[in-house]
Amino acid sequence: MRKTQREKGLIGKRMPEGKKFFLVSIPFVIFVFAFAYIPLFGWAYAFFDYRPGLSLLDCDFVGFKIFAKILNNKNELIRVMRNTLAMSFIGLLGMPLPVIFAIMLNEIQNSKFRKLVQTTTTLPNFISWIVVFTLAFAMFSSDGLVTNICKALGMDVRNNLLGDNKHVWIFQWALGTWKSLGWGAIIYVASIAGIDAELYDAAHVDGANRWQTIRHITIPGLYPTFFVQMLLQISNMLNNGFEQYFVFYNPLVANKIEVLDYYVFRIGVLTNDYPQSIALGMCKTIISVTLLFTANRLSKKVRGESIV
């Protein structure tokens, strides 16, 4: 059929694909610029002896005095960095768990059961840390469900996990893993779906069993994704988050649970030392960016591809 004059005109005025994607991305670019770049002007407060209620121009310029003050509190800073890096290293050691879970999920033959498991394990990611703390308190406090069961079985339970200073790192890592395991596995499930199905067919023709297929096809296919995720995790070693450690903070575990993000909050909000908290945030940002570009160079050398 011949196209009408009107249809030809509409086709001629059709917007190019690149322009469409650009227009769609504009709101997100504005969002990132507004919440990630405009606040950088607040870094100026780290160089002034700022007092709430006064204009920045009315405050005394002190240069790097605030940064020197941070270095003078060596013992406190070392303790906070120890907690931060310890949680990050434990997180790095636990990185294979989403990969293993994604592989196990992919091996479930029943599609309905697989979707049920994936949905159930992804839901905790959307639960607030306040709700997680409420559940943990109901289960692991001195009168919690798990504690009472252990006591009924004759086990010696002196300290509850919420106040156990020795195992607080492992406990917090376990809670974080439970909350993010299903969500973290999504990217690996997508990577498995992108592996050429002909490779699996050829392996089955050659007589490979399920374990051999996973070992020689699935795991090598997930290696690039895992490597990129690991490098991004390395670049985020100083960013443990705030909400989890805020809600689980208590005097019994304060020495082990205070990470850098919570320390910045305590200095800035609880003690009203805004210049020092901003200076700490600046140092954290600069170190994180440095780690990111270091990881990017490492990726170029090892894989021949950059991640930035």
User: pLDDT tens digits, residue range 289-307?
Assistant: 888 888 778 777 776 766 6
Residue 218: other Cβ atoms inside 10 A: 21
The DSSP line for 42-75 is: GGGGGGEE--TTS-GGGSEE-TTHHHHHHHH-HH
One domain for residues 95 and 24: no
User: What domain range includes position 24?
Assistant: 1-63
**Confidence at residue 308, expressed as pLDDT on a 0 to 100 scale:** 62
One domain for residues 213 and 227: yes
Q: Confidence band (pLDDT; 50, 70, 90) for 10?
A: very low
Report if residue 1 sits inside a domain.
Answer: yes
Task: Quickly list H helices, the chain.
Answer: 5-12, 17-32, 65-72, 74-93, 96-106, 111-122, 129-140, 145-152, 168-193, 197-205, 210-213, 219-235, 243-247, 254-257, 260-265, 274-303
Q: Confidence band (pLDDT; 50, 70, 90) for 15?
A: low
Report if residue 308 sits inside a domain.
Answer: no
Report if residue 94 sits inside a domain.
Answer: yes
One domain for residues 99 and 21: no
**Confidence at residue 96, expressed as pLDDT on a 0 to 100 scale:** 92
**Confidence at residue 13, expressed as pLDDT on a 0 to 100 scale:** 57
- Note the Cα 189 to chain centre separation in Å: 18
d(C-alpha 223, C-alpha 262), whole Å: 34
Report whether 260 contacts 242 (CB < 8 A): no
One domain for residues 177 and 98: yes
Collapse the DSSP code of 131 into the 3-class scheme (helix H, G, I; strand E, B; otherwise coil) and give the result.
helix
Report if residue 24 sits inside a domain.
Answer: yes
Which CATH number covers residue 93?
Answer: 1.10.3720.10
One domain for residues 12 and 73: no
One domain for residues 28 and 139: no
Burial 169-199 (b: 16+ CB within 10 A, else e): bebbbebbeebbbbebbbbbbebbeeeeeee
One domain for residues 175 and 46: no
User: pLDDT tens digits, residue range 83-120?
Assistant: 999 999 999 999 999 999 999 998 888 889 999 999 99
One domain for residues 117 and 32: no
Among candidate residues 63, 80, 95, the one where a domain is terminated: 63
Q: What residue type is assigned to position 280 of the chain?
A: L
Report whether 200 contacts 66 (CB < 8 A): no
d(C-alpha 244, C-alpha 261), whole Å: 11
Among candidate residues 29, 44, 63, the one where a domain is terminated: 63
Among candidate residues 35, 63, 91, the one where a domain is terminated: 63
d(C-alpha 39, C-alpha 55), whole Å: 17
Counted domains in the chain: 2
Contacts of residue 46, defined as CB under 8 A and 6 or more positions apart, other chains included, come to 66, 67, 275, 276, 278, 279, 282
One domain for residues 7 and 142: no
User: pLDDT tens digits, residue range 147-164?
Assistant: 888 888 877 776 778 888
One domain for residues 164 and 112: yes
One domain for residues 44 and 76: no
d(C-alpha 101, C-alpha 188), whole Å: 9
Report if residue 236 sits inside a domain.
Answer: yes
Residues in the chain: 308
Report if residue 159 sits inside a domain.
Answer: yes
**Confidence at residue 180, expressed as pLDDT on a 0 to 100 scale:** 92
User: pLDDT tens digits, residue range 111-122?
Assistant: 899 999 999 999
One domain for residues 172 and 36: no
Q: Which residue has the tokens 């840390």?
A: 129
Structure tokens at 182: 């299903």
**Confidence at residue 186, expressed as pLDDT on a 0 to 100 scale:** 92
